[in-house]
Amino acid sequence: MRVAVIDGQGGGIGKHIVEQLRKKLPDLEILALGTNALATGAMLRAGASEGASGESAICYNVDKVDLILGSVAITMVYGLLGEITPSMATAICASPMPKLLLPIQRGNIQIITVQRIPLPHQIEALVDEVERRMTLNQI
């Protein structure tokens, strides 16, 4: 199974996702897709199998994985402080691959009825869901 972890800025959220995936699912193939080289580098240092950076890399690879992981901001035009381009958001949303997204609430978008829990707990739930899907072969 191959998953893409998409992040931008400094790659902090993606780094934590990759670290936890690598701990719990050591054989998982993880593709780090960063909006910039800094984010990709952080995810690679955390244990991603391979990585690529930028708009073209993200648009090209989102259909070549079994699952897409990241924050909900990766689906929003100009999300991550403007790093998500319209082409990236379109490619991610149009991809037929399942997406597991963390409800990180920053900026002027608030997701109502979602509990505000600490990021480490959100990432733990995300990793548990990836593991559940692998076990059930739902990916």
Select the CATH number that applies to the domain covering 2-134 from these four: 3.40.630, 3.30.70, 1.10.238, 3.40.50. Answer: 3.40.50
User: 3-class DSSP state for residue 115?
Assistant: coil
Q: Residue 71 is encoded by which pair of tokens?
A: 């924050």
Query: What residue segments make up the domains of the chain, in order of their start?
Result: 2-134
Question: How high is the pLDDT of residue 16?
Answer: 97
> Whole-angstrom Cα distance, residue 90 to residue 79?
12
Question: How high is the pLDDT of residue 117?
Answer: 87
Directed axis angle between helix 12-24 and helix 119-135, to 10°?
Answer: 40
Question: How high is the pLDDT of residue 110?
Answer: 78
pTM of the predicted model as reported, rounded to 2 decimal places: 0.93
Question: How high is the pLDDT of residue 139?
Answer: 60
Q: Mean pLDDT for each 10-residue chunk of the chain (139 residues)?
A: 95 95 96 97 97 98 97 94 96 98 80 85 94 83
